[in-house]
Amino acid sequence: MTEPLPLSHSDGLLDRDLSILAFNERVLDWAHRPDVPVLERLRYLCIVSSNVDEFFEVRAEPHVMACLQDITSGAYNAKSLQDIADRTNAMVARQYALYNDDLLPALERKGYRILSHGERNAEQRQWVRSYFHREVQPLLVPVGLDPAHPFPQVANKSLNFIVQLSGKDAFGRSNEIAIVKVPRVLSRLIPLPPRVCGGSTAYVLLSSVIRAHLSELFPGRVVGQFSQFRVTRHSDLAVDEDEIANLRMALRQGLQHRHYGQAVRLEVSANCAPRLSEFLRKEFRLPEASVFRVNGPVNLVRLMQLIDLINAPDLLFPPYQASFPAQLPQQGSIFGRLKQGDVLIHQPFESFDGVLAFLKEAVMDPHVLAIKQTIYRAGSDTTMMDLLREAVRRGKEVTAVVELKARFDEEANINWAEQLESIGAQVVYGIVGLKTHAKMLLVTRREGRYLRRYGHLSTGNYNRRTASLYTDISCLTADADITSDMDQLFGHLASQSDLPKMKRLLVAPFQLHASMMARIQAVGQAAARGQFARIVIKINALTDVPLIEALLHAGQQGAKIDLIVRGACMLPAGVAGVSENIRVRSVIGRFLEHSRVFYFCADQDESVFLSSADWMSRNMMRRIELAWPVLDPVLRQRIIDECLIAYLHDGRDAWDLSSDGQYHRVGLIKPGASAQQALMHRHSGISQER
């Protein structure tokens, strides 16, 4: 059970930012589960820390600024920051208690220890001292603060120490405060050699190594109180696209300053002296609510390295091998298969290799003339880049719509764009002011006297790594109307000409929002007439107020509505007279839920859409997004079964939002079936039968 989510302002909706934090509390629950392997529990702990970092980098700045300006009303004010701080402090306390009291002892029982200075024996201390002098000290430049040595620039989320000194410096002055910045190139987790561990496995944290040798950085001075600290900065890049000539160059320049944006959070050690924490708070110009004391390393995210260092498969989930998509031929032409009908791939239960096989066939086929693709978060894997490069080499027309403003992937996408341009591909960056979040790949092939198109649409990114970690739906199609719409949309993105009327696709910011509103209203009207009326929506976030209000109204008309919302949800569920016909649940499993599925049924009119878009204002109004209908009745039923019914009946990994604003995990007393486990079993069975 989680803490209640307060209402947002006076509109009766739940608070968006606290709902995001509540999602991370549900993720943290996996780190507490004793039936989860210990390294996977550590992974969930690190994921939560990473998510909270991003929350502060993206969402906290207006709350902090409002508090500093003593604003007392509106969405952002001193109380809103305090609410975030209270919720975060409670979660952080749980994280560190779990780390110190549960995970570290559990790892020690398995033969793996992280040794503090006090736990290291003489031989281990000597090795650490040698390591410090050899690998660490040469890279450290302690800065004693005085008028000629101002407070140094501290990068976003970097490890640092603040030190109080007594005695005089080399010039007879008593500058009391020094700062030690720790370079990012230094490994945060250091394995001790077996010869000093008696054959066991042990590690030391870099912060512990530096802490044990701080006095050696200040010869002639006496080190008094000290603390590690980390500052989180606002990191959402903002460029005025109307005022720049080259978006790529402007973003590359902006990336250089991202690490030094407005400070929004300060983390210090739990035992940091108030004088030192107050000195840092004032230096970073932060309100008191932005200071967090932690009982351990200030960056738990870096402990993800431990999962890679420990070679112990029994401490991890059993490996899952995704099956090759059952609808695709492993031998023979995918183009030939698509002439028979559409193909759905349910990732990660089915492999992303099916999508790569489609692209590879297009690249190698001499009859393929053109390939067009959107790129949002492609990741570091070069397989797709290599295929596009080969397509250019073979003389095909390759067009890539690269979204340069994909948050925290800007640099990777800039590199993709530059590499593609360097080999002769046509690269465009979409529409000024709108992120291109739609995921589509279009192949044009000559077949006799005619050109025929084959398309791929997806709820997720063209990213091989995340395709093995996120649940998404890929759709391969040769449908003439859908592929014609895709071609028109690519033309719109490249030429910025008017978008023609779409036959099948719903495109944001043009028709998608209005179409969803109309379909909700149609279901509500059917309910008011006493007809069957049902809505089931599976998305990652629900924060768009007009869509929420439409859902509330349809529910009040009698429509039965189920919302499977992984993360932030501002709609209050099950409130008498308001939303008693609406159920909200969140499913948190081994894989990150990412697919978006929209189901509407008004009397005999049933429709299912897949989409790249969440139900957020930014997706509906400030992005190029897609939704497309699942036309084949067999595939439509498969989507209903695998993406909706399975999750509505999940009795292990689901959380239901109750009328009091709390999320309650189902199956705590008597666990039922897990939707993800059932899908893993189903598709691994398909794989074994092939």
Low-confidence ranges of the chain (pLDDT < 70): 1-11, 170-172, 174, 237-259, 405-410, 412-413, 685-690
Task: Name the superfamily (CATH) of residues 508-689.
Answer: Endonuclease Chain A (3.30.870.10)
- For the question of residue 456 being annotated catalytic, the response is no
* Three-state secondary-structure class, residue 70: coil
Q: What is the pLDDT of residue 407?
A: 58
Sign of CA dihedral 256, 257, 263, 269: positive
**For the chain, which residues make up each domain, given as ranges?**
33-315, 334-504, 508-689
Q: Please, is 461 exposed, middle or buried when counting C-beta atoms within 10 Å of its C-beta (0-12, 13-18, 19+)?
A: buried
- Residue 110 burial class via C-beta count within 10 angstroms: exposed 0-12, middle 13-18, buried 19 and up: middle
Distance CA 572, CA 5 (A): 9
Q: 33-315 has which fold?
A: polyphosphate kinase like (3.30.1840)
Listed in order, strand segments (DSSP E) in 483-580 are 506-508, 533-539, 560-565
CB 284 within 8 A of CB 443: no
Tell me the C-alpha distance between 347 and 357, whole Å: 15
What does the pLDDT read at residue 667?
85
- C-alpha–C-alpha distance, residues 23 and 365, integer Å: 46
Residue 349 C-beta-side C-alpha neighbours within 13 Å: 23
- The secondary structure of 125-137 as a DSSP string is HHHHHHHIIIIIG
What is the Cβ-side half-sphere exposure of residue 109, based on CA atoms within 13 angstroms?
A: 10
477 CB burial (10 A radius; 0-12, 13-18, 19+): buried
Specify the pairing of strand 596-602 against strand 201-205: unpaired
From residue 678, give the alpha-carbon distance in Å to each of 316, 672, 675.
19, 11, 5
Q: Report which of 59, 84, 58, 82 is spatially closest to residue 70, judged by C-alpha positions.
A: 82
C-alpha–C-alpha distance, residues 584 and 535, integer Å: 12
Is CATH 3.30.870.10 the right assignment for the domain spanning 334-504? Answer: yes
CATH topology identical between 334-504 and 508-689: yes
Alpha-carbon gap, residue 346 to 37, rounded angstroms: 26
Q: Which two tokens stand for residue 429?
A: 């960056």
Find out whether 483 and 454 touch, Cβ atoms under 8 Å: yes
Per-residue model confidence (pLDDT) at position 419:
80
- Tokens 């030429």 belong to 495
Q: Encoding tokens for residue 356?
A: 């790569």
pTM of the predicted structure, to 2 decimals: 0.92
Q: Under a CB-based contact definition with an 8 Å cutoff, are residues 438 and 624 in contact?
A: yes
Please give the structure tokens belonging to residue 470. 């996120």
Q: What is the pLDDT of residue 459?
A: 97
- Give me the catalytic one of 437, 492, 594, 683: 437
